[in-house]
Amino acid sequence: KPGEQKHPKEPSSLQCMHLAVVACGDRLEETLIMLKSAVLFSNRRLCFHIFAEDSLKPEFEKKLKEWPSSYTKKFESNFYPITFSVGNAQEWKKLFKPCAAQRLFLPVILKDVDSLLYVDTDVLFLRPIDDIWHLLREFNSTQLAAMAPEHEVPKIGWYSRFARHPYYGPTGLNSGVMLMNLTRIRSTQFKNSLIPGGLTWEEMLYPLYQKYKNYITWGDQDLLNIIFYFNPECLYVFPCQWNYRPDHCMYGSNCRGAEREGVSILHGNRGVYHDDKQPTFKALYEVIRDFPFEDNLFQSLYYPLQSKFLDTVHTLCGRIPQVFLKQIEKTMKKVYENRVIVYLGANHRY
């Protein structure tokens, strides 16, 4: 219809939500727990795109095959070696954390994938991926990626206090959860600080890195901030509950969306799943890690979580347990309603 807003087309495979992760070094277990949280709650089929060092691939395959068939049928997994299509591979590898820069090359490598959700290994889904996937439909005609702000409060944000390079908006972006329309990224000419005209995504990456490499602290995340500083119309900003980090509660609560709706995606950066600095984050990680797949979700996941949270109420993040539990509770109720309806439908002929 004339004047109607055009939305990006649905992802290439209607049956599949594409999820990408880059795992190197000692990130095997963390990545598996992230994938487990994705599979536990999702409704539609998932396609995993796992970029990993060669030594990790057999272990990933082995562990994923050990999951019960009721879950393995919900996803397919594709493995890729770590590769960088432009510039110096060793330089890219050393940028920030091992292999993290790989994510910048996803539009170039995954040529047949239309849309994709990229997450860091230290992410946990507390509700179906379907819900963040639906945000693709909210992109306007120029938006091609979505991220959450690095901070809600400029005076305590990292970029607003310390950055020595351009960054998006008042507080910069956190790239640990990034939703992308790869088709649009591949076909866009990006404005930049290198030449007066536009450059494609692939043409821009290495020169941009060369220009700013002495000023960036957070590697690929800083490069994404620089790109969207020059191309703000290309970014859809989603609220902080879709990328909830210790920073949102350790300085006092500063993610209003999570207080209203609960945490949707937990991002345990700063290594908080593995030390005792933020016991609430660690508790969530351990409960999902230890959950026996076929068990009752309320009994073996929700109740252990509630009791572990009781031990964390003395901490800044632990004093707001409902923020962490709200979405999980909602999601579990839905899972049970669906199962009961399916069960009744199969056993009763009206």
Q: What is the pLDDT of residue 164?
A: 81
Beta-strand ranges (E) seen in the chain are 16-23, 45-52, 75-80, 115-119, 123-125, 145-149, 173-181, 235-237, 265-267
By DSSP bridging, strand 145-149 and strand 115-119 are unpaired
Nearest alpha-carbon partner for 100 in 80, 121, 85: 121
Tokens of residue 297, six digits: 């979700």
Nearest alpha-carbon partner for 194 in 212, 173, 208: 208
* pLDDT single digits (tens) 50-65: 999 999 999 999 999 9
Rounded Cα gap, residues 225 and 169, in angstroms: 9
Q: Which residues of 23-45 are buried (b: 16+ CB within 10 A; e: fewer)?
A: bbeebbbbbbbbbbbbbbbbbee
The C-alpha angle with vertex 239 and arms to 238 and 241, in degrees rounded to 5, equals: 125
Q: What is the pLDDT of residue 153?
A: 80
Least confident of 66-70, 127-131, 161-165, 239-243: 161-165
Once rounded to an integer, what is the mean pLDDT over residues 161-165?
82
CA 83 to chain centre: 21
Please say if the pLDDT value at position 9 is more than 50: no
- Residues 6 or more apart whose CB falls under 8 angstroms from that of 81 comprise 51, 52, 53, 54
- Residues 6 or more apart whose CB falls under 8 angstroms from that of 84 comprise 92, 93, 101, 102, 105
- Residues 6 or more apart whose CB falls under 8 angstroms from that of 120 comprise 21, 176, 177, 267, 269
- Residue 98, helix vs strand vs coil: coil
Q: Which amino acid is at 237?
A: V
- Residues 6 or more apart whose CB falls under 8 angstroms from that of 256 comprise 152, 240
By DSSP bridging, strand 145-149 and strand 235-237 are parallel
Please say if the pLDDT value at position 349 is more than 60: no
CATH (residue range 17-238):
3.90.550.10
For the chain, what are the domain ranges? 17-238, 241-345
Q: What is the pLDDT of residue 88?
A: 83
Are 17 and 42 within 8 A, CB to CB?
yes
Once rounded to an integer, what is the mean pLDDT over residues 228-233?
97
Are 47 and 178 within 8 A, CB to CB?
no
* pLDDT single digits (tens) 72-129: 999 999 999 998 888 888 888 777 566 888 999 999 999 999 999 999 999 999 999 9
Q: What is the pLDDT of residue 348?
A: 52
pTM of the shown model? 0.91
Please say if the pLDDT value at position 237 is more than 70: yes
